[in-house]
Structure 1
C-alpha cells in the first residue's frame, strides 16, 4: 500500500508599504488622533495600525476585550489611570478587559505601532458605551476615507 504525504500549502508573507497607506482621523473619538491601517483580519477580529496623536491629545476611556500590543516609535504617552510613561522603544502589553485613557505628552506628538485583538468599547463619563470598534469597523472607516479623498483603496485583507 502506498501513501502520500499531504500537500503542504504555504502563504507568502504580505508586504504593506507605509507610503500606500494614509493617515485618517480617528473620528468620532478624536480629531487629534489619526490611524494608518495596515491590515484587518475579519475572521480573527484583529487590526494592525499605526496611531499618531498630537501633543497633549487624549483618546477617551475605552475597554479592550482582547489583547492590545503597543510599541512606542516616537513621543511620550501614558494612560491617565496609571503612573508610568511610555517613551520611544517601550512596549506595552494590554491584557483583555483593561480600561484606560491614552494621553499624549503635551510636549510632542506620538507615533505607536499597535496590534488590536477583539473589540474596543468607548465609554462616556458615566461608563456608558458610546461606540464599539472592531476590525470590520476600522476597515470600513478607513476604506470610506480613501474613497472620500480619491485615494486608491488598499488591500486590508490579504489572507
Structure 2
C-alpha cells in the first residue's frame, strides 16, 4: 500500500532558501517547506521587517499562524499576536497584516489552505496566491540563484 511507503520526514530550515515575497514586498521573505498541490496547502516561514504593513487579502481556506518571533496584528482586529501565539483564521476571512514590533523582525510559521486573494482599495482582486504560484516562485528563485530545487511536494527531500 502507498501509505506504507511514506516515511516520517524532517524539514530542516537550512534545506530551503529565504525568497523575496515579490511582487508584494521585496523586503518580506518567505521560506517554503511544503507545497501540496493535492490539498492546495503551503507550509512556510514568513519574515517581516518591523513596522511593515502587508497588502489586504482574502483567504478562501483556513490558515494557522504560529508566531516564532516578534509581534503582529491585523488592522481590522484589536488583538496582537506575540511570540508563541497561534492565530487560526477561518475560510473566507479578509484582513491586513502589520508587524507591530518596533525593533524586532517578525517571523511566523504559516499553514495556508486554499488561495490568498490580494485586494485593492476598492476590494477587487488584483492577484492570487496559491500552491502553484508558491511553487513557481520557489523554482524561479532556485533557477536564478543556481540552487538545485528540492521536491517541496514531498515530506522528505
TM-score by length of 2: 0.93
**Kept after mapping to 2: 8 A contact 1:36/1:51:** yes
3-state SS in 1 of match to 2:88? strand
Q: Which residue of 2 aligns with 1:67?
A: 62
Q: 1:27-72 CA deviation, whole Å, 9 max, x = no partner? A: 1111221100001110110000000000111110000000000000
In 2: Cα distance, 1:133 partner to 1:47 partner = 10
In 1: Cα distance, 2:136 partner to 2:125 partner = 20
In 2: Cα distance, 1:9 partner to 1:69 partner = 25
Q: Which residue of 2 aligns with 1:3?
A: none
Larger radius of gyration: 1
**Kept after mapping to 1: 8 A contact 2:75/2:98:** yes
Residue 100 of structure 2 is aligned to residue 114 of structure 1:
no
Q: Which runs of 5+ in 2 are unaligned?
A: none
Count of matched residue pairs:
153
Q: Which residue of 2 aligns with 1:126?
A: 122
The Cα of 1:8 is off from its aligned counterpart by 7.7
**Kept after mapping to 2: 8 A contact 1:57/1:106:** no
Q: Which residue of 2 aligns with 1:33?
A: 28
Q: Which runs of 5+ in 1 are unaligned?
A: 1-6
- Aligned equivalent of 1:100, options 71, 81, 95: 95
Question: CA 1:98–1:147 in 2, change beyond 3 Å: closer, same or farther?
Answer: same
In 1: Cα distance, 2:138 partner to 2:111 partner = 16
In 2: Cα distance, 1:73 partner to 1:113 partner = 7
Q: Which residue of 1 aligns with 2:149?
A: 153
3-state SS in 2 of match to 1:136? helix
In 2: Cα distance, 1:33 partner to 1:22 partner = 13
**RMSD (Å), alpha carbons:** 1.3
In 2: Cα distance, 1:120 partner to 1:87 partner = 23
